[in-house]
Chain A
């Protein structure tokens, strides 16, 4: 977010956009759940209600039929009726008797007396017909009461008993118009219809069902669209199987309360949204403003002196305490930053010191060692033995000094965390054999035999930094030689598979290390009393070695017995790969120089001793001529005039540095193709890498080996 944007409006819009739909969504969900639950409840309530209403209605109608039937049974039991079965002349008055009975139902109704075979004996019906052909006759003659409901009339037939035997039949007929009245229950609160089989014959609400409508079982089960707006319950009338009642409850009516809920939800939804929006704005006003102010103030603190500034304490309590806490933190941070700066400055000074010390020491050392070599190998003026011995002492002193410088540089790099290892799968055999060769060379003076079973190293692969691994081995081995007694032995054993590690043990037959001294073995610059002895050493070799081993995830240790000797061991992780293709070193093909042409070597160097050394070296190469300049500017102009085959360039030059000069050379059309070799006392790897980036072909570190310098010149010129 851009600090200059108005955070308030953007945040508010975001919040509103995010929160309001979510809240409304939740409300909607709650609404849907509420509605579903309520709908179910309402439906089950309504169903319960209409189910019992249907049963009540059915029993009401049942009761009506029963009352009607019982009144007819009463008539059938009347002795006048019984007697009429026997006595023909009594029948004349029967119609009159029937008519005198109070009609049980509003509307037309007819009473007929028949004999035991349904033949007419007396009737009030205008049709004057008997029922001899009726299917129910047999039932009545078996003593049953029969009720028949058809689309035209209702018939109730009651047997007339004499001496407990059915001897005649009393038949009451109610035309449809009449028996419909019987099915109408006044003041019935629910909508209902009475079905004759599947046809509606009575309905208390024609909005529900119109008489004449067919209502199938499927409709009753609400399986069709017809009446889908109604909850339905039906019940059979037990004594009138042709009839059933259907009670309907309009869903609109049943679910009316849902509308209220829905409305309430909509209103509360709007209210909620409004409240939410207001709350968001209010909150933003309360919190965002001071927060924005706070953040602006914090943003302005960029460090240094700013850390001393206090930010304004304002706004709600929480923000005030936040500001206070921030101020506290700021001042603490300010104090610690000062300390950090001081430490960093000290460290930097140390590094610079080390770096410049290394550089400054290497430069003269280059001359010392270089000229020693020149003298020692000058074919024109061979030295006598005394001279050679003196020169050898100079060379040893110089090399010891170089070793010391290198070790100190390594240690300082390790401490500064600048030393990096690049792990790879390494076959130890070639490295070991190289180290052994050096060790044997070292041991020649003291007649020390180096024992190693070369075959034991085959087939194991370790995970290490190749160069540092070699350094470690050399260190241990050279110590074993250095601290051994004359004619002693150095034994190397290799144990693969020591719980995933490969162990390299180096035993000597020296005088051993006293137990009380063993603790200080790895302390830098502590030579355990060997300082005054004849054995050269800096006292930091083992501590560097151990650090290197640890950096490569390895382990290091030793056992020592005074008078017997010491065994130092290192362990490195075994690589998953069990073997590596044999490392065949690519042979550097020497470029043979054309013998006829004279090669021009330009050396840009401000140190006269080194310049002189180089002159001596170059003079030893046939057909080679050295030209030199003591500044970069001079060197470049010399190069342009002389067009040398190769340029050797010191980096640390007065005025223009070697790197700047390199840039100019590279940009120059005429000089760009000339190989340029850096020759510097700066041995710090990061500096070397930076220098190489500038376009140098090679980097020659002072003090350099004379032969190495010769080889490079031969190669690139």
Chain B
């Protein structure tokens, strides 16, 4: 008899707990009494060739969340990060998204550097109703993805703009014949399209287009081909490893014939400077950047940020030591934007958060004052006006080139 009673109460208790869980799972704005943390998944290359980009994004998020949580979180809900490594491999990326989707406390996923991974994940992200924040991957199609509603919000470069910017920079530097050397992926193709279109508009010639595969050990053939075709500049679209292969290939050419390289920013996501070593100084390399902690767009904001960054990562003592500045800054701003949106939405429902993101009037960010960051039509927060060219110093730090 007693046993039966106990069982009965146990069942009641179980049902109660289950309903609570279900309510959370339904992403309803939780009651004040259950201040569950709100989680953001990080899905980036944490260990492979562009691991620095993943680490930079992670750190940007940590700084932002530290700031938010210090100020009471989001209506009392603390923010947390769940990190998954995709190593630049789309297959791993998709698996990571599926894992995040299974965790109902995760409302949004911060992506990484790799456009191909982001592209491969889009379907899964939308099917599972996750917000996808893009701090780096620049492929135009990542945002212009055809999904309606579109859950992707980006604070980063859009290749469409990048292509035009880089082509302009080439033209400004009096390069007439562009030799395109792009990685053999969706990202590479996205840029081929952008640069080709821009070249047409600006009126510079595309001398040739060459592709480099992931894992390639040499780009000699492609460089020679472009040189043969009369290219006076190499427009490089690749990540750190393949970018290093290209730079080394160029460095091997006699000094007089060495082509300058104007590069997209993929090379800054990994251990590029370590890979190329002294060859860095042999080649005239400039690349796209959106932000610099050395000459910050908004110094006061940067000061606060760096103070917190130093506190959290004590090994970093100077701004030029911050890894992949763009990834750090973009991720930082994106977490704040998401936080604001959730606050505004007062809900964890995707539709509401998405809508809230589209309806943030203004945000005083690290990169800039977003006014507004996103609209219903525009999920890219940055444009060409935010771009700059930069170069590596021999110690690996990135400095902007005066416009």
Which residues of chain A have a CB within 8 Å of any CB of chain B? 77, 79-80, 82-83, 85-90, 115-117, 119, 121, 161-163, 165, 167-168
A116–B91 CB distance below 8 A: yes
B66-74, B170-178, B212-220, B259-267 - interface stretch: B212-220
A82–B215 CB distance below 8 A: yes
Given contacts A115-B91, A163-B88, 7 further A-B contacts (CB under 8 A): A82-B215, A83-B213, A85-B214, A86-B185, A86-B214, A162-B88, A165-B48
Q: Kindly report which residue of chain A lies nearest to residue B216, judged by CB atoms.
A: A79
User: Which of B49, B92, B117, B214 is close to A79, meaning CB atoms less than 8 Å apart?
Assistant: B214
Given A82-B214, A87-B116, check contact A119 B184 (CB 8 Å): no
| Minimum CB–CB distance for B52 against chain A, Å | 12
| Minimum CB–CB distance for B212 against chain A, Å | 8
- B225 cross-chain contacts in A, Cβ below 8 A: none
Which residues of chain B have a CB within 8 Å of any CB of chain A? 47-49, 87-92, 95, 114, 116-117, 119-120, 184-186, 189, 213-217, 241
Secondary structure class of chain A's binding surface, majority of residues: mixed
What 4 A-B pairs have minimum CB-CB distances, sorted nearest first?
A82-B215, A115-B91, A83-B213, A79-B213
- How far apart are the CA atoms of A187 and B91 in the complex, in Å? 48
| Minimum CB–CB distance for B120 against chain A, Å | 7
- B189 cross-chain contacts in A, Cβ below 8 A: 89
- How far apart are the CA atoms of A79 and B213 in the complex, in Å? 6
Given A83-B215, A87-B116, check contact A165 B87 (CB 8 Å): yes
Which of B48, B49, B89, B186 is the most central at the interface, judged by chain A CB atoms within 10 Å of its CB? B89
- How far apart are the CA atoms of A163 and B88 in the complex, in Å? 10
B89–A116 CB distance below 8 A: yes
- B89 cross-chain contacts in A, Cβ below 8 A: 85-86, 115-116, 162, 167-168
Q: Kindly report which residue of chain A lies nearest to residue B48, judged by CB atoms.
A: A163
- B216 cross-chain contacts in A, Cβ below 8 A: 79, 83
B186–A89 CB distance below 8 A: yes
- A119 cross-chain contacts in B, Cβ below 8 A: 91
| Minimum CB–CB distance for B203 against chain A, Å | 30
- B213 cross-chain contacts in A, Cβ below 8 A: 79-80, 82-83, 90
- How far apart are the CA atoms of A165 and B214 in the complex, in Å? 13
B185–A87 CB distance below 8 A: yes
- How far apart are the CA atoms of A663 and B185 in the complex, in Å? 157
Q: Kindly report which residue of chain B lies nearest to residue A116, judged by CB atoms.
A: B91
- How far apart are the CA atoms of A82 and B119 in the complex, in Å? 18
- How far apart are the CA atoms of A414 and B198 in the complex, in Å? 165
Q: Can you give 17 contacting A-B residue pairs, CB < 8 Å?
A: A79-B214, A79-B215, A79-B217, A80-B213, A83-B216, A85-B89, A85-B90, A85-B214, A86-B116, A86-B117, A86-B214, A88-B186, A90-B185, A116-B89, A163-B215, A165-B48, A167-B91
A163–B184 CB distance below 8 A: no
- A165 cross-chain contacts in B, Cβ below 8 A: 47-48, 87
- B47 cross-chain contacts in A, Cβ below 8 A: 165
User: Which of A77, A82, A86 is close to B90, meaning CB atoms less than 8 Å apart?
Assistant: A86
Which of A77, A89, A116, A163 is the most central at the interface, judged by chain B CB atoms within 10 Å of its CB? A163
B92–A83 CB distance below 8 A: no
- How far apart are the CA atoms of A85 and B189 in the complex, in Å? 16
- A85 cross-chain contacts in B, Cβ below 8 A: 89-91, 214
Given A79-B215, A163-B241, check contact A90 B90 (CB 8 Å): no
A87–B91 CB distance below 8 A: no
- How far apart are the CA atoms of A8 and B115 in the complex, in Å? 120
| Minimum CB–CB distance for A25 against chain B, Å | 82
- A79 cross-chain contacts in B, Cβ below 8 A: 213-217
- How far apart are the CA atoms of A194 and B373 in the complex, in Å? 70
- B87 cross-chain contacts in A, Cβ below 8 A: 162-163, 165, 167
User: Which of A90, A115, A116, A121 is close to B184, meaning CB atoms less than 8 Å apart?
Assistant: A90
- How far apart are the CA atoms of A82 and B185 in the complex, in Å? 11
- How far apart are the CA atoms of A460 and B159 in the complex, in Å? 150
User: Which of B48, B95, B119, B186 is close to A162, meaning CB atoms less than 8 Å apart?
Assistant: B48
